[in-house]
Chains A and B, each alone.
Chain A
Amino acid sequence: MNNFAKIFTVAKKEYADALKNRVFLVFLFFLLFLIGVSIIVAAFDFQGKVAVYQNALLKLRQSGQVVENLSEPQFFPLQLLRGAIEYLEIIGAILAIVLGYLSIAKEKGNNTLQLILTRPISRFSVYLGKFLGNALLIISVSGIVFVGITLVVDIVGKTMLTGSQLYRIFLTFIFTIIYLLIFFSISTLLSILLKSLPNALIISFVIWILFVLIIPQIGDTMDPDNQVPGGLFNSLHMVKADQTAILAKFSHYEKMRDNLEQTSLTKHYERLAFAFLGIKDTYNGKSLEFIFSERAIDGWWISLASLLFGVFGAVIFVKKRVLWKEE
């Protein structure tokens, strides 16, 4: 049996183990349930808006008015994915942390890591097997989520998604996997690095709270447009040009706020996903070339972080001699 087959054996076991783990299944259920509810509600709302428009057209036609000259309203079905992206940011990251912790902690606690490491398989291959198995699980979960929400938007929302819109969903799916792998790798790394497994879990969640909740929350609080529910500018019925002119006067403040938000990897993922899906108004209807030129930095940040934490975990797993509970 070659080395690849051994890596595959480890990966297959990781995948199967997670699917039997109750903690993982509970968080998976919550994630799918919340995303399901959010997307179905949004899709019905979307369908309702389309129906209102079509009824209005029908009534105008019935009253003998010419409707062909009226400009068509714009609907943005990809914006329905906002809730799903936010749940992936929050609960998806928890799911990834749980996976990373279980991958190492159970083996450490059971002393099975010692058994595995005395088999003729290199430490790197063991790590790679564990990484691949869990990465495959993250891909599967994200795949189910994105296929599911695409179908709901398509069927419940009664909107025919274009090839370009499907491609944007696909890009978001890819960067969701990369984003979730960051949290998986952080949790794995800490479980390898720290003697105390509860501490590894606690620190993973502290990082999660920082990236997912605290930094974005501070950023939102500092946003001048966020001081009134629904947006300050919207409530004042201010046109975009005036908004931009006002914000220009606060450019230093805005830059500081932006820099703070950029320290959160979650915010990078959100900005990229919201740009792809046109959830952020600035990018709605814009070409992918434009989005990439503006938001490539977010893609680079999360890709780099994912790679760095993954590689760092591999190095520690290979180099750290005592990976198990010391007697």
Chain B
Amino acid sequence: MKKNNRFIIETKSLTKKYDGKAVLDNLNLAVAEGEIFGFLGHNGAGKTTTVNILTTLLVPTSGSAEICGFDTVKGSMEVKKSIGYLPENVKFYDNLTASENLEYFAKLSGIKNSKEKVTEVLEFIEFTGIEHKKLGEFSKGMRQRIGIAQAIMHEPKVLFLDEPTSGLDPMGIKKLREVILKLNREKRMTIFMNTHLLSEVAKVCTTIGVLNHGKLVYKETLENMLKRFSDEESLEDIYFTIGE
């Protein structure tokens, strides 16, 4: 990580246009190290586009984004070394076992002792005994945990999760939440989470940002937000008030 950086994730006037239409409009966002940042917004607000730019998958139309002080376009290889990513609805390779899937991504991340690393990571997320099962036999919740495992294999500083609880049953959500909190607590990993579920935000996130039509309309720590909107009955009410 480059020194003298206050924020581990920082965007400046980040804009992304498709066919002249701005999906992201001058987004200025900063996330400090060690935060669990909940990125909220309705469908089409630009959350996934933001994550795609931050994970080097997309190039912004204008503006810039930095992860650990590295520009996502000019320093994309350094950024890739610093991040882990779990996209929405990733299915992995059904014909491979959990170990084989994880070893493949470990090798692509440049890890030499991939077998040992897989064991270590699965133990860390408390998901052992499934190493030799094929992914085709896994439930959505189990796949998401494998997804987290592949994303943290190379011990990234920032973990990006795109709608991680989407489609999970309550038990799956609970287990995933525990893993996210453990990663943040024990590995000091900064977590950037796109989500719809306000209840999850309340249970996991330290800071939230609300995106509306490509613009950041609100950013605050969860604690301060709850104080500020103490009159509102629920998080949903707060969300709609912010959106207005």
Residue tally, chain B, CB below 8 Å to A? 29
Secondary structure of the B side of the interface?
loop
CA distance A100 to B110 in the complex (A): 26
A20-B95 in contact (CB<8A): yes
B108-A119 in contact (CB<8A): yes
Interface flags for B87-128 (1: CB within 8 Å of A; 0: not) read: 111111101000000001101111110000000000000000
For the complex, is A322 an interface residue (Cβ under 8 Å from B)? yes
A327-B48 in contact (CB<8A): yes
Counted as pairs of residues, one from A and one from B, with CB atoms less than 8 Å apart, the total is 70
CA distance A125 to B85 in the complex (A): 20
For the complex, is A6 an interface residue (Cβ under 8 Å from B)? yes
B77-A9 in contact (CB<8A): no
For the complex, is B57 an interface residue (Cβ under 8 Å from A)? yes
A9-B104 in contact (CB<8A): yes
CB-nearest residue of chain B relative to A122?
B77
B90-A112 in contact (CB<8A): yes
Which residue from A110, A120, A322, A327 sits with its C-beta under 8 Å from B88?
A327
CA distance A111 to B89 in the complex (A): 7
For the complex, is B55 an interface residue (Cβ under 8 Å from A)? yes
B110-A120 in contact (CB<8A): yes
From B93, B108, B154, name the one whose CB has the most chain A CB atoms within 10 angstroms. Answer: B108
For the complex, is A114 an interface residue (Cβ under 8 Å from B)? yes
Residues of A within 8 A of B55 (CB): 118
Which residue from A6, A9, A115, A121 sits with its C-beta under 8 Å from B87?
A115
CA distance A111 to B143 in the complex (A): 13
Given contacts A112-B92, A118-B57, A120-B80, contact A1 B111 (CB under 8 A): yes
CA distance A129 to B85 in the complex (A): 22
Secondary structure of the A side of the interface?
helix
CB-nearest residue of chain A relative to B58?
A321
CA distance A5 to B109 in the complex (A): 11
CA distance A112 to B92 in the complex (A): 6
A1-B104 in contact (CB<8A): no
B90-A115 in contact (CB<8A): yes
Looking at the assembled complex, report how far the CB atom of B111 sits from the nearest CB atom of chain A, in whole angstroms.
7
B57-A114 in contact (CB<8A): yes
For the complex, is A49 an interface residue (Cβ under 8 Å from B)? no
CB-nearest residue of chain A relative to B80?
A120
CB-nearest residue of chain B relative to A120?
B80
Residues of B within 8 A of A122 (CB): 77
For the complex, is B83 an interface residue (Cβ under 8 Å from A)? yes
CA distance A118 to B95 in the complex (A): 22
A115-B85 in contact (CB<8A): yes
For the complex, is A117 an interface residue (Cβ under 8 Å from B)? yes
Which residue from B89, B108, B112 sits with its C-beta under 8 Å from A121?
B108
CB-nearest residue of chain B relative to A20?
B95
A116-B87 in contact (CB<8A): no
Looking at the assembled complex, report how far the CB atom of A116 sits from the nearest CB atom of chain B, in whole angstroms.
6
Q: List 24 A-B contacts (CB under 8 A).
A: A5-B107, A6-B108, A9-B104, A9-B108, A13-B104, A17-B93, A20-B95, A110-B90, A110-B92, A114-B57, A114-B85, A115-B105, A116-B105, A117-B56, A117-B57, A118-B55, A118-B56, A118-B83, A119-B109, A120-B80, A120-B110, A120-B154, A121-B80, A322-B58
- Known contacts A110-B90, A120-B108, A120-B154; 12 additional CB pairs below 8 A are A1-B107, A1-B110, A6-B107, A110-B93, A112-B93, A118-B57, A119-B80, A119-B108, A120-B77, A121-B108, A321-B59, A322-B57
Smallest CB-CB A-B distances: 4 pairs: A119-B108, A110-B91, A111-B90, A120-B80
